[in-house]
């Protein structure tokens, strides 16, 4: 089945359909990761987005239960240059086309993803729609439809868990505020002995107080962080009482709760090769990232927020610490599944911070 990707600026890309049938629409974004297509597809941060893979071949090792970042994918569609005809891995439970078909997610292969990525880098993130070419779609009408469709914002409330649940451990108790949390974050905490209580994005300070956690982790997730006014108000209250660690969207929310502002990036950071510098130690390492918004450096009050990490390529803020509260956050993913594990010690830093605060409380 022939498919077309129509972009809001009028550009059209042709390809062959696979996976789910029918049309899909959303923001068209690209990821530069050479591996980890399953983790990307099941990462809730890609909710309602059409995901373009710059790696020319995906699907060669199929999909398996161990690599799921959520129970089901949230992206709207998948675009690649080539999807593997044959896949093989001892853990494989399904092929990528069958997996996308099961979840009714349309895919396109045979697309000139190099040209598509260059266009997105030049023009910035664009809205797009994947349609059936055999139905001879009215391209001009689709373009007008895309241009008049507003970008969704409060997506974290759509992908969050509907009820709290426990992943037991034998150490610190951590409340994980699910804004679209990756399963790899839960695994990283459990590996360090934490009791992890996952709660919905609309959790209240009172509900967190009833749990009496040793710390709170604000997860990654999709959408505009400034639209999550309820989460921001909650963080303003609990940061005075509990150690906080924010990752990706959680990082942006922590900044907003402390007077900073966020802005939308031209085409975002999505991939596993972003170099970041620790501004205190001057150490540089590579990170896994997936975000379309960033903290506005000009909006930071240096008396309240200290910048701790910075992206080397474009200078964007990659980490902060709150001066008056036991709270810190990073824009990148220290859980890095897949990707470099250079930054996984940040989970140990969070464990240490909870221990220190516990000692102060018991003194």
What pLDDT, in 10s, does the model give residues 22-69? 999 999 999 998 889 999 999 999 999 999 999 999 999 999 999 999
Q: What's the whole-number mean pLDDT along residues 277-305?
A: 96
Report pLDDT digits (tens) over 252-267: 999 999 999 999 999 9
Burial readout 201-215 (b: 16 or more C-beta within 10 A, e: otherwise): bebebeebeebebbb
Average pLDDT over residues 120-131: 96
Write out pLDDT tens, residues 329-342: 999 999 977 777 78
Average confidence score pLDDT of the chain:
95
Which positions are catalytic? 248, 333, 335
Encode pLDDT of 214-247 as tens digits.
Answer: 999 999 999 999 999 999 999 999 999 999 999 9
Percent of the chain with pLDDT over 90: 90
Report pLDDT digits (tens) over 1-10.
Answer: 899 999 999 9
């Amino acid at each position: 089945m022939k498919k077309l990707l129509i972009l809001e600026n009028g550009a059209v890309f042709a390809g062959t359909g696979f996976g789910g049938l029918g049309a899909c629409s959303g923001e068209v974004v690209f990821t530069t990761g050479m591996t980890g297509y399953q983790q990307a597809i099941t990462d809730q941060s890609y909710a309602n987005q059409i995901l373009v893979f710059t790696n020319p071949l995906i699907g060669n090792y199929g999909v398996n239960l161990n690599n799921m970042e959520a129970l089901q994918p949230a992206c709207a569609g998948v675009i690649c240059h080539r999807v593997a005809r044959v896949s093989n891995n001892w853990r494989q439970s399904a092929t990528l086309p069958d997996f996308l078909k099961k979840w009714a997610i349309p895919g396109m292969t045979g697309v000139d993803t190099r040209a598509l990525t260059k266009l997105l880098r030049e023009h910035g993130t664009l809205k797009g729609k994947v349609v059936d070419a055999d139905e001879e779609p009215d391209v001009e009408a689709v373009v007008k439809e895309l241009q008049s469709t507003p970008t969704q914002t409060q997506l974290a409330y759509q992908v969050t868990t509907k009820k709290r649940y426990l992943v037991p451990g034998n150490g610190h108790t951590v409340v994980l505020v699910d804004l679209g949390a990756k399963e790899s974050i839960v695994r990283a905490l459990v590996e360090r002995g934490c009791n992890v209580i996952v709660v919905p994005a609309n959790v209240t300070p009172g509900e967190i107080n009833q749990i009496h956690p040793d710390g709170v982790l604000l997860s990654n997730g999709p959408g505009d962080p400034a639209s999550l006014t309820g989460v921001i108000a909650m963080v303003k209250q609990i940061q005075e009482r509990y150690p906080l660690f924010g990752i990706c969207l959680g990082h942006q929310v922590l900044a907003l709760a402390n007077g900073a502002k966020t802005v939308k990036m031209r085409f975002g950071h999505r991939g596993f090769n972003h170099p970041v510098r620790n501004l205190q130690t001057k150490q540089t390492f590579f990170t896994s990232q997936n975000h379309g918004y960033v903290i506005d450096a000009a909006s930071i009050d240096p008396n309240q927020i200290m910048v701790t990490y910075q992206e080397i390529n474009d200078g964007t803020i990659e980490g902060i610490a709150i001066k008056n509260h036991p709270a810190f956050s990073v824009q990148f993913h220290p859980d890095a599944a897949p990707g470099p594990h250079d930054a996984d010690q940040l989970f140990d830093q969070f464990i240490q911070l909870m221990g220190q605060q516990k000692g102060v409380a018991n003194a």
